[in-house]
Chains A and B, each alone.
Chain A
C-alpha cells in the first residue's frame, strides 16, 4: 500500500514503466483477481463506496455516474472512453500518467470496463501527445499479448478491445459529448444532456467517459478497498490527487498529494514559494476555467467543497499563479482569447460573446478602454456565464476567471482605463493590438 498510489511507479530517471516492471510491482494482479471472479455489481459498489470523484474537472462522483449505465441488453457494444484530451491551459497531469505509467491507465480501464460490461474502449488522446501515444500503443500491444486485453481477458468470458484514438486538435473535444462526436468522426460539437452518454453515447450506445486520472485510481481502489481510498484524503474527499503549479514559483511541477492538502502546502512546500522578486497576486486553482483565488485563500484545503465555498472550483487541480509583475488584465485577455478561439461555434453566447469579451479586454489592456467597457464585460459575463445559458460548460468556464478577475483586480482594470495604458507594460512582452 502506497500513499501515492498513482505515481508509485513513476520514479525519476527510470523512464516509462514497461509491462515487466509493472507486473513485478503488482500490476495486473487486480485484473487477474477480479475479472470473472468478482461480480461487476460488487465492483461497482466498491467504487461507489470509495467516494471517488471525477478528476476531469467537474468532480462528479464516479460510482454514481457509472450506476446510470443501463443493464446490458445484448444489442450491441458498450463503450468506455478515457478522456486524455488534456487541453485545459495550465494542466499537465494526465500526460505524466500516460507517458510514465501507461499500464496503470490500461489496467484501470480493463477493470472499469468489466464493471460496466463495456466491450470496447477508446483512449481519446490529443494529437500533440506523441510520446504518450506511442507508449500507450506499445503498452496495449504488451497487454494484449499477455492476455489482459482482447477476447477472454485473463481467461474469463469477458472481452475488451482497447484502441487509441488520436485527436486532431480543439479544446472542446475534451467536453465529453463533443468528444463522442469527435470519436464518431464528426465535428466536435457538444451534445445536449439529457440524454446522457451513459444511456445514449457513442453510436447511440451506453458509454462512460472518464478522465485518465480518474481511471488510474480504479485499480488501486479495487485492490486496497474503498475504506483505504477514503482514508488517503485528509478531509472529506477520498484519495490522492495530482496537484500542480505553474507560473512564477520557484519549482513549478506536479505532485501527488492527499486530497485536502492545503493550498499553502502545495505552493510553498512543493513549489517552493514564489520565485525571487515576485509576489503572489492571485491564482487559478485548477486550470483556465476556474475562478481566481487570492492570498487570503491559501490556507484552504484542496477539496471540491471547500474550494467551491471559496468561490472557485478544484477543476483539474493544477494551479496557475499570477504574480505581481504580470498584468491581470493581460492574463485574463490571454485566457479569453483562448476560450474564444476554442468555442465550437454552436451556441450564440459563446460563439459571439467570447470574441466580444476578448476584443474589449484587448482594448482595455492596451489603454484604449473606456468607462462603458467594464459594463459590457459585466453584462457579457452574466450573459455567457451561467450554466444553462449556453449549450455546454465551455463558455461558463470561460467566464470564471473574468468574473472573479473583475472582482479581485478591479483596480487594475480601472487603472488601465484611466491611465490609458497598461501599468505593467514594462513587464509585458508584446502589446496586443485590437483585432
Chain B
C-alpha cells in the first residue's frame, strides 16, 4: 500500500487504485463526471483535476486528472492548489455553456450530480453570452425520457450501454461540440438494462419516464429499502411513494448482489402496486357470482366460518410470498396442511437448488460472478429469467482482458486502454440453449440444442472432464478445467429437473479438479428458495391429491400454475392477493393483501441469501400485509419479527433471518430511521386542500422505520437506509460516502452469513432423460423479461412491451408442420405469429410465457396448426421483433 502525500498529509493509498478513488476513499471531495466506480476511467470530462508534483523540488507541479493517475510511493499531490481549483471551476463553467439551466423543470433537480459538482467547484457567475446548442430529443420507449440539451458529453451513457451492458442501439453521433447521444432513429431502447442510464447519466438527459408521469422531488418522496420481487435474484432497491402511490424504484447499492445496476423489469415493474387491478377491499362472492365489497371484519369472519365448516382445509403458500406470510399460513392451517404452492416439477427443481446451496459446492454472490474466468450456461435463459445475472456474466468475460492488461502493466481501471488492448479477446463462455440468446455476442461457444440434448451434452461434458479424448465436449470441458475459477450456471427456465441435476453433476466433476469451481442455479421466483425450505417435500399437487374441499391461498395464482384438474376438489376458496388474477376470480372470499411496498418481508434469493424488504407506505383502507391478515384469522395479531423468530426456532437453516436487519426495537440515539428526507417540504402542504391541519403521520409498529421526516437517517445501517444522501452529494453518487472504499461493501452492511452450512458433500444425481422429454416434439415456454412475471406485467409500461403471441421454430420443423414465417398458427384457439428462425434447435417449438398463452400449458407441437391467409397485425410484427429477436 503506497503512501502518498496530498496537500501535506500522508495518505495510505489502496494498491492499484487511481488517485481519484484514493481521494474519495479518504473523504476528500473531488468532483468528477466521466469516471464511474463500476466503469473505470477514460479522462474525458477533465473534472477531477488535481496538481501533481514530479519530485521533491517541484514546486509548481502540473494539472493532472486524478482518475487517470496511478498512485505510487511518495507521490505528492495537491487538491487545494489554486490552479487546480480554478481549473475545476473552469470545467464546470465550460460544461455549462450549452447546458440549459432548466433545473426547476428537470427531473434530476435535487439529486443531480451536475448540480452537486457545480456547487462543489463554486462556479456561479456566467460569462458566456453565446447561443446554446439545442437538440431534438428522441422517443426511447416507455421507460426512458430523453432531453439531450442537458447533456454534458461525459460519455458515460454509451460506455455503460455498449461496453458494460452490451447494447448496440445507443451511440455517440457527430463530433466537436455537437455530439448527440441517442439512437440512429427514435425507438425503444432494446437493452434489458437500459434503465440504468437514468442513474448513470450525471444530469437529466436520460430520465425515468414512469416517474415523470407522477413526478416528485427526491426530498418529498417517502422511501424504504426494498428487495425486488421480479425474479429470484433479489436485487436491492429503493421504492419511493407519495400520496399512497409508488412513484419510482431505483437502485440500492449492495456490493454483493446488484452493485450499481438493476434490470428494467425490476426498475419499471413496480407499477402493479398502483394498478387498477389491485384488490382494494375484501370481497365475498354473492349468489350471482359477483363480489360484494365488505369490510375486513366481515370478510375475516366469513373465512373463519368456511374454515370451521370445512371438510379438509389446506393452506397453499407461495414462492412469491415472504417467509413471514408463509409462516403465518403454516401457523394458521398447521404444517401438515400446508404446501409451498409449487408444482411437483418446481419442487423437484428447487430441491436440487437447495441441495447445492447446502453442499460444499460454492455458490458465488451475484457480484462475484464477474470474477469467474470460464463459464458454461446450461439451458437457462439468463437475460429473460434472472436478468441482472446476465449483466454480471457479461463482465466476467473480461477476465481475459484483465489478464492481458496485467501482463502489459495496464491498470484495470484504465477502461479504454484495457478495451483497446483486449479487442475481441474474451474468456470462455459456453451457452447450451435451445435458441439464440442475448449473451451470444459474448459467448465463445453458442450451441443450440433441444432440452433433452442439453442434458445429454452436459453429461458428455461431465464425462469429458476426466477423459482427455479429443471431442467437442472435451473442448468445452477443457475451458472449465483450465480456468482459474470456472462457473457452471443453470436454472429453472426450461422447467427441467434433469437439466439442473446434470448441471450439478458437471459442477461436482469440475470441482474435483478445482475447489474454486462455482455453481449458480437460478430459482424461479422471488422466494422460491425460501418457500422450498419451508416444504419442498410436499408439492401443491401432492397436497391437493388429499382432496381437500377448502383452501386458503396465499399470493399464488394457482389457477394458472396448476393443471385445472388438480384443483377439482376445492369447493371453498379463500384468496389473499394484492392483484385480481385468475385465482381471485374463483374465490369465495378475497382478502386484500399488501403488495411488496406495503408489507415487510424476508425473501431468500437464488444464492441462498436472505434479505429483508421494508414497508414503503401504509396501505390504503383495509389492505394489509398477508401475514397480518393470516395471524388475525388465527386469532393472534403477531408482528413480523415474532413470526421470524418462531420460524427460525423451527428451522435451523433459517436462523440468520432474524438478524439480517434490525427489528422494530432498533433505535439510533433514541430515534427511529426516517423514511422521508429531512428536507421533505410537502407534509404540511400535502393535504392542505382538505384541511390546513397537519395530518398525524401513521405509526409503524412493525419496523424501526418511521413514516416521518424526523429521525436518524445518516447513521442507519444499510438494511434500513431509506435513501442515499450525504452533505454536498445529493445524487445517487453519494453512495461512496457509505462505502469503506469506493465500489466496496457498504460500511454498515450487516450479517452477510450464508444461509446454509455448505458442508454436505453431494453425490452425483442419477438422470433419466427419456422420461422427461419426447424428442420428437418439444414445446418450450420462452421466458420474457417483459411478460413472464405476473406482477410486473401489471405495470402499464411493461405491459406495452409484452410480445404478441408467437411460435418460433426452425425451417425443418416449420415445414414438417406446414407453417410459414410470419404466417399464422393456432393452438387451443389462440392465434399467434409463426417465426421461422434457424437459430432454434431442431424439433423445438417455442412460444412465450406471457399472459395470453397461459392456456397453452402441456400442448404438443402437433397442436399448432396453420391459419390460412392470416395477416399479422402490424403491431404484432413490431412487438415480436423487438422482444423476440434474441441476440442479433
Q: A residues touching B (Cβ–Cβ < 8 Å)?
A: 170, 187, 191-192, 194-195, 199-200, 203-204, 340-349, 351-356, 359, 372, 376, 379-380, 383, 386, 388-391, 434
Contacts and interface: CB of A to CB of B under 8 A. Distances in A.
A164 B152 CA distance: 37
B175 A343 contact: yes
A391 B44 contact: yes
B106 interface: no
Interface in B80-139: 87, 90-91, 94-95, 97-98, 127-128, 130
Interface in B162-211: 172, 174-179
A200 B421 contact: yes
Given A192-B416, A200-B420, A348 B95 contact: yes
A351 B176 contact: yes
Contacts of A352: 94-95, 97-98, 177
Given A343-B175, A352-B95, A353-B90, 10 more contacts: A187-B175, A191-B416, A191-B417, A200-B410, A200-B420, A204-B404, A345-B176, A347-B44, A349-B90, A389-B49
Ordered nearest first, which 10 A-B pairs have the shortest CB separation?
A: A352-B94, A383-B90, A200-B421, A204-B421, A345-B175, A345-B179, A343-B176, A359-B130, A204-B423, A345-B176
Interface in B402-436: 404, 408-410, 414, 416-417, 420-423, 425
A69 to B, nearest CB: 13
B810 interface: no
B64 interface: yes
Contacts of A351: 153, 176-177, 179
B94 A349 contact: yes
Nearest to A177: B420
A380 to B, nearest CB: 8
A346 B408 CA distance: 25
Interface in B42-70: 42-47, 49, 62-64, 68
A383 B177 contact: no
A9 B488 CA distance: 67
Given A195-B421, A200-B408, A389-B46, A348 B155 contact: no
B176 A389 contact: no
A170 B176 CA distance: 10
Nearest to B64: A388
Contact of A388 (B63, B97, B128): B63
B176 A353 contact: no
Contacts of B421: 195, 200, 204
Chain B interface mostly helix, strand, loop or mixed?
Answer: loop
- Listed residue (B94, B417, B421) with the most chain A CB atoms within 10 angstroms of its CB: B94
A23 B25 CA distance: 65
21 contacts: A187-B175, A192-B417, A194-B417, A195-B410, A200-B421, A204-B422, A204-B423, A345-B153, A345-B174, A347-B45, A348-B45, A349-B90, A352-B97, A352-B98, A352-B177, A355-B97, A355-B177, A356-B97, A356-B128, A388-B62, A389-B49
A346 B62 CA distance: 21
A380 B94 CA distance: 9
B585 to A, nearest CB: 56
A234 B34 CA distance: 48
A206 B248 CA distance: 49
A434 B172 CA distance: 28
A342 to B, nearest CB: 7
Contacts of A348: 44-47, 91, 94-95, 152-153
Nearest to A352: B94
A174 to B, nearest CB: 15
B417 A170 contact: no
Given A192-B68, A352-B97, A352-B98, A389 B47 contact: no
Contact of A191 (B64, B178, B409, B420): B420
Contacts of B404: 204
A62 to B, nearest CB: 23
Given A192-B417, A200-B420, A388-B64, A383 B87 contact: yes
Contacts of B91: 348-349
Interface in B241-284: none
Given A195-B410, A195-B421, A388-B64, A356 B416 contact: no
A379 B179 CA distance: 25
Contact of B414 (A192, A347, A359, A389): A192
Contacts of B416: 191-192
Contacts of B94: 348-349, 352-353, 356, 383
A344 B45 CA distance: 13
Contacts of A191: 416-417, 420
Nearest to A344: B175
A347 B153 CA distance: 8
Contacts of A383: 87, 90, 94
B408 A195 contact: yes
A406 B526 CA distance: 67
